[in-house]
Amino acid sequence: MANDAAPPVILWFRKDLRLDDNQALTAAHRSGRPIIPLYISEPEAAGTGPLGAAQAWWLHHSLEALDRSLHKRHGRLMLASGEALEVLCALIKESAAEAVFWNRRYDPAGISIDARIKHELEKQAIEARSFGGQLLHEPSRLMTGNGTPYRVYTPFWRALEGGGEPEPPLDAPAKLRLASQPKSEVLGSWKLLPTKPDWAGDFVDLWTPGEEGAQQRLHAFVEDALEGYKENRDYPARPATSMLSPHLALGEISPARIWDATRGLSQRVPAADIVHFRKEIAWREFSYHLLFHFPRLASANWNDRFDGFEWRNNSGDFEAWRRGMTGYPIVDAGMRQLWRHGWMHNRVRMIVASFLIKDLMIDWRRGEAWFRDTLVDADPANNAASWQWVAGSGADASPFFRIFNPVLQGEKFDPDGDYVRTYVPELRELGPKYIHRPFEAPKSMLDEAGITLGQTYPKPIVDHASARNRALAAYKAIRDAA
Ligand code: FAD
């Protein structure tokens, strides 16, 4: 019920840049009070983690999109920067708001900031309410029979699957009562977009940041690619996965909305595809539950036996990896896809991560940091958990001795070389037989394809077989020391 005289409620948007299935927004709407929609650019020093450059690009466009949606409902998104508590207190004073609502975040720094804010606001008799919805289930809800957190994915999945359907998603309120509000900062002044050089030029070909783009992506995926997902998802040249990750990372769509979209399709889509897709959503959930229960996952070896690992950390090798110049085509294609589109296919993420950690023996944290800076879907839980999974140091991780052979992986998952040809144009003229091993191609064939190894395309920076032995020896050393 609208109440014109009511003091406003501040709706603090964070990584939930949507109106659909937004529990805090719905609660604010139902309270009948005028709403002040607010986004705060919090300083890195506050501990929320550095915002990577690629995700900063996304954030700029996502905030614009959210503002447009609010504008259609006769309001605007207010932008402010600084320590969240200070910004909120100043706005409360200015607007006479008596409540602040937000959706919970689950990274360690975010949790501690929010706990402090809640405490301080309550001391001032301001109603501070937080809501779920960024995950399918609250981390405290899914626990083992002993009341401990899950450390292994399969039983976690079984509990998730057997624990009842997630809450059905809430539709965006058709109308909102938005308060006229104090002055906003100007988005452009935050300088989230690259200028010289504009390395994000190709992002626009692929991405539409914002809630509408997320809904379209979900719809297209369910219509065109969900059928066959289980089989196709491992082949990077096929448009087979949802590409919803950047939308999920900034909360432009909720996991419950995605889950809901996969209901009632059994007449048309094989159950195996639906279950497999849901299992991937559950990996995101698992990563968040791990981060919530074991905050050190973000920066330290989950399994501390790896603390003694003798990394080589050669800076020339790291540079070659970052630039996609290792001489292994599938690795180079992945790293260049990352640079060009701010995203990389999951199979290739595993290959390039294995190569960095095991072939080059570079600390997974350096790879994690590079991904954080260059991925539009950089996510504190998924990124750290996945890097540790590949390294072997994580929860339910792939064993360290499982070392991907980049040539065989390329031949298996990119058999015609189409993915490599898209991102490594200097190999475009090479046929499928040698596209993943140009260093073994006869000279005549290289000449015909216009390739001079060491000049137009690098020779391999390491020999995989020897690098593999070197990595296994280093691993044996920490295993024997344990
Ligand atoms: P789909 O196959 O369509 O899956 C749907 C959703 O499920 C994804 O959007 C994602 O939210 C979730 N999901 C899928 N696979 C995984 C997985 N292996 N682990 C956790 N969640 C998963 N994902 C991120 O969102 N952010 C990251 O920063 C990130 N860093 C990674 C780093 C490494 C080294 C590796 C190996 C994987 C990383 N992933 C990360 C997981 C995965 O690669 C991406 O989520 C996936 O490629 C996104 O593409 P999609 O949306 O098309 O996935």
pLDDT of 88:
98
Mutate to test the pocket of ligand 1, among 250, 297, 346, 396 (most ligand atoms within 8 A of CB): 346
Reference 248, options 289, 288, 276; nearest CA is 288
Reference 407, options 346, 469, 354; nearest CA is 354
> What is the torsion angle, in degrees rounded to the nearest 10, for the CA atoms of residue 303, residue 308, residue 314 and residue 318?
0
Indicate if ligand 1 lies below 6 Å from the C-beta of 387. Answer: yes
C-alpha 382 to ligand 1 mean position (Å): 7
Report CA torsion sign: 192, 193, 197, 199: positive
Taking the mean position of all CA atoms in its chain, how far away is CA 427?
A: 30
Which residues 6+ apart lie within 8 Å of 264 measured at CB?
A: none
Task: Give yes or no for a contact between 384 and 298, defined as CB atoms under 8 angstroms apart.
Answer: yes
C-alpha 327 to ligand 1 mean position (Å): 26
Respond yes or no: is residue 314 known to be catalytic: no
pLDDT tens by residue, the chain, 482 residues: 445 578 999 999 999 999 999 999 999 999 999 999 999 999 875 565 678 999 999 999 999 999 999 999 999 999 999 999 999 999 999 999 999 999 999 998 899 999 999 999 999 999 999 999 999 999 988 999 999 999 999 999 999 998 888 889 999 998 999 998 779 999 999 999 998 888 999 999 999 999 999 999 999 999 999 999 999 999 999 999 999 999 999 999 999 999 999 999 989 999 999 999 999 999 999 999 999 999 999 999 999 999 999 999 999 999 999 999 999 999 999 999 999 999 999 999 999 999 999 999 999 999 999 999 999 999 999 999 999 999 999 988 888 889 999 999 999 999 999 999 999 999 999 999 999 999 999 999 999 999 999 999 999 999 999 999 999 999 999 888 87
CATH numbers and ranges of domains, the chain: 9-134 (3.40.50.620), 135-165+209-293 (1.25.40.80), 304-481 (1.10.579.10)
Rg (CA), the chain: 24
Indicate if ligand 1 lies below 6 Å from the C-beta of 352. Answer: no
Phi, psi (deg, nearest 5) at residue 39: -125, 130
Indicate if ligand 1 lies below 6 Å from the C-beta of 357. Answer: no
Respond yes or no: is residue 387 known to be catalytic: yes
Respond yes or no: is residue 346 known to be catalytic: yes
Mutate to test the pocket of ligand 1, among 245, 252, 289, 337 (most ligand atoms within 8 A of CB): 245
DSSP state of 145: T
C-alpha 259 to ligand 1 mean position (Å): 16
C-alpha span between 344 and 246 (Å, rounded): 11
Task: Give yes or no for a contact between 201 and 342, defined as CB atoms under 8 angstroms apart.
Answer: no
Respond yes or no: is residue 283 known to be catalytic: yes
pLDDT, tens digit, for every residue of 98-135? 999 999 999 988 999 999 999 999 999 999 999 999 99
